[in-house]
Structures are given as C-alpha cells and as structure tokens.
Amino acid sequence: MASVSASCPQVHELAPDVEAVIRSIHSNKTKAVVYVTGGAVQASCISWLLAVPGASATVLEAAVPYARSSLISTLGKEPEQYCSSATAAAMAEAAYRRAADLSSFGDSIVGLGATCSLSTVGAKRGDHRAFLAVHGGSAAGSRCLAMTLAKGARTRVGEDDLVSRMLIKEAAAAAASAGCSTAAAQSAFVVHSYDVVNDIRQAANDPVQQLLRGEIRCVEFCGSEVVVDAPRHGRVYLPGSFNPLHQAALRAANGDVGVGSLEGAFELTVQNADKGLLSAEDIHKRVAQFVALGLPVVVTRAPLFTNKADLLPGSRFVVGYDTAARLVLPKYYGNSYTQMLLDFARLRQNGCSFIVAGRKDAASGRFMSLANVEVPPELADLFTNSLPEEAFRLDISSTELRLKAQLK
C-alpha cells in the first residue's frame, strides 16, 4: 500500500456538521475498513475519520492503494478501468473481506471503497469523476455512487471536500448511525443540480441460496449478524453436520471453541461427497440452532479438509478421534499413501492442522484419544491433542442422536 504523508486536521478544524456525523459513526459498533485512491479525498476522508475521538472503535484499517501495482494487489486482479463504479465496488468488497479478517465473530462490518479522477493542474479533458462504494453494513448488499462533477464549479480542494463528505455520509448510512438522519448532518452533503449523481444499489439476496448456487464460498451467522463470502483466516473451526447440535459441541462452545489466542466457530458444509447438497430448508434449520444460542457458525461448500484449508488458511480444525484415525488411512485416498501425503502437504502449505478430541469407543467402551491414532511420522506435526478429556469429549454423534430420537 502506498503511504500518505498528510497532517491530520484537529477536530476543531472540521465543519461541525461533518464532525457530528463522524462522532455518530464512532458511537456505532460497526467496524470498517476503508480503501481510497485517486485524489486528495484519500487524505481528507481518512484524516477526518481518525481525527475525531473514538476512531479506534470503528476504523480497523485505512489504506491508499495509490500505485497501480498496489491496487492490483488489493483487488487480487487488474481492473478493466482504474476509475469506475466496478473498481470502487471491488475495492469495497476487498475492504469488507479484510474487515472480516480483522474483526471478531459477531461484529458488524462494512467495507468502503472510493476511486476518483478530479481536477488537475491545467485543463482536464475528461470528466471530473468519483465513484464511492459501500459493501455490507446495516442495510446489507452493496451501493455505489457514481458522481460527475461540473467542471469549473469548484476548486480542486472543493471537489475533494465534497467527495470526502459524500463518503463519510455513506459510511454513516452503512453503519445506521443516528446522526446521519439529522437536518444538520444532511446539510453537510449538498450536491448541486449541475452535478450528476447516479445511485446504484444491489439488494442482498438470500446468502444460503447464493451458496447453494455456487455464487459465494461461505456465509457466517452469529446472532443477528450475517457475513457473506468473507472467510476468516487463522481461526479454530469445529466441523460437523449438527443435525442436531449435540452436547459435545455445546461444551466446546462453553469453552469458546477457540484454543489459546485463536477465536473459534463451528463449520457446516452444505456439500457432502456421498449425499449431495443439503436443501436450503435443512441449512436454515441447522443454522437456527446456533443463532438461537448466539454461537458463530460458518456455512461452506467445502466438503473435504483440503477444501476447508484452501478456504480458511491458517486455521485449525477440531476433529474426533475416529475422524483422525480415518484421515491417516490410505484407503480413503484411493489406497495411495503418496496421495495421502500430497493431500496433507496441501493442508500444511495452507498453514492448517488438526486438534483431536477424544471420545469413547463404542466397541470397547474405552476412551480413545490422539495417543491411540497411528499417525505417520511425516504427519505428526499436523495433529495435536490440545483438548483434555474433562474439557471436551465427542462421545455421541448427530447420527446417534437422531437414531435415539426415532426410537422414542
């Protein structure tokens, strides 16, 4: 990211109406990442946000991908145009995904993106344009403002000021800040009739249906918060079918699922190698169990652990003793020991590993743990037994619970 050398204005230098809106943003619990480029708006908007006390409660990261190479790195690809609504939207989506990575499960997050081509020294041939985008937030979905400013109507400073104010306004609206609805706050954002502003909105669809159609990779539920297609890396995940949510999983939840400093969540895949896709009704029913308890669950299309590692790099997966035992059997890899090692190499490359939870063996009645699994020496570094027996046991599965329910 290109760095910006600009002195942040003191709060008293801000227009009172702008300051009021920023204070309302900071009083909201929404976390934001801001990516802006292509004009002094980058200095104004970011410095305004940081100058008002309380910024640390809102701003997770603010960056200026000013060089082309920096913007390409931010987006993960080269945009067709560097100043366009599509690029602003892509910046906002990238900011949203970054916000997910920097925040905690259950946080409300929003990504802001802006790209501008404003007044320059001498006459400018093209239009004076700015594209401002918001992704996520209280209204969900996304929104993009395409602004064409009348030439000669303002100085460069005036154009920067207007665009910065508009981005602040969009941030406030996304965070559902009460202050943005007051008359005083609205007066800060006057767009004249000789300017052209197009408001492009994309309503949020049912994320579960999007997941089933393969349009997104995952959707996260935690209480009332829903985070779409923004996988959080470096967490602890407890995969399962959760049909129903069993007591062992709830005990893990009471221990915050996570291990050490790593935050934890449950993971439910909609795709099973043998049974195909779950129905939307089934998914909503299983997710409802977690929502009712305020527990985080990430729904994915990642049936295999290699898929999970690709989606959630740097993470650790909690598995039962029996699952761990199967994971190191070549027969599940086409009877190929080499293929098994290659699959585990993929997990290692993604920085992933397993935490093994013990359970009672149905046949012998003995408590079995990682110590009872014959892990090949080449894979020993990928398995740990971090969960003591008294803290977490997987003695019963969702399948066994369903069978018991049917016998009643």
DSSP states along 213-271: TTSSSEEEEETTEEEES-PPPS-EEEE---SS--HHHHHHHHTTS--TT--EEEEEESE
- pLDDT category at 334 given cuts 50, 70, 90 is very high
Amino acid identity at 325: A
Structure-block tokens of residue 354: 């397993």
Amino acid identity at 38: G
Helix (H, G, I), strand (E, B) or coil at 56: helix
| 394 vs 318: which has the higher pLDDT | 318
Write down the pLDDT at residue 278: 95
- pLDDT category at 77 given cuts 50, 70, 90 is very high
Instruction: Answer for the pair 135, 227: CB distance below 8 angstroms, yes or no.
Output: no
Cα distance between residue 64 and residue 309, in whole Å: 30
pLDDT at residue 1 greater than cutoff 50: no
Is domain 207-407 classified as CATH 1.20.120? Answer: no
pLDDT at residue 122 greater than cutoff 90: no
Write down the pLDDT at residue 139: 52
Q: Which residue ranges make up each domain of the chain?
A: 11-202, 207-407
Least confident of 6-15, 133-142, 362-371: 6-15
| 80 vs 273: which has the higher pLDDT | 80
Write down the pLDDT at residue 391: 57
Within 10 angstroms of residue 366's Cβ, the number of other Cβ atoms is 10
| 396 vs 202: which has the higher pLDDT | 202
| 320 vs 257: which has the higher pLDDT | 320
Helix (H, G, I), strand (E, B) or coil at 368: strand
Write down the pLDDT at residue 197: 77
Is the N-terminal amide bond of 244 cis, ω within 30° of 0? yes
pLDDT at residue 347 greater than cutoff 50: yes
69 phi/psi in degrees, rounded to 5? -60, -35
Least confident of 144-153, 225-234, 397-406: 397-406
pLDDT at residue 234 greater than cutoff 80: yes
* Residue with the two structure tokens 């594209």: 131
The helix (H) or strand (E) run that includes residue 70 is helix 68-75
Write down the pLDDT at residue 200: 78
Is the N-terminal amide bond of 376 cis, ω within 30° of 0? no
Nearest to 357 by CA among 380, 324, 387: 387
- pLDDT category at 192 given cuts 50, 70, 90 is low
Helix (H, G, I), strand (E, B) or coil at 105: coil
**Average pLDDT of the segment spanning 9-14:** 53
- pLDDT category at 179 given cuts 50, 70, 90 is very low
Structure-block tokens of residue 400: 């066994």
With a pLDDT cut of 70, the percent of the chain lying above it is 78
Helices then strands, counting H and E runs in the chain, come out as 13, 18
Write down the pLDDT at residue 182: 39
With a pLDDT cut of 90, the percent of the chain lying above it is 53
| 154 vs 52: which has the higher pLDDT | 52
| 197 vs 397: which has the higher pLDDT | 197
pLDDT digits (tens, 9 = 90+) for 207-220: 999 999 999 999 99
**Average pLDDT of the segment spanning 222-235:** 94
Write down the pLDDT at residue 177: 47
Architecture of the domain defined by 11-202: Alpha-Beta Complex (3.90)
Residue-averaged pLDDT of the chain: 83
**Average pLDDT of the segment spanning 166-180:** 74
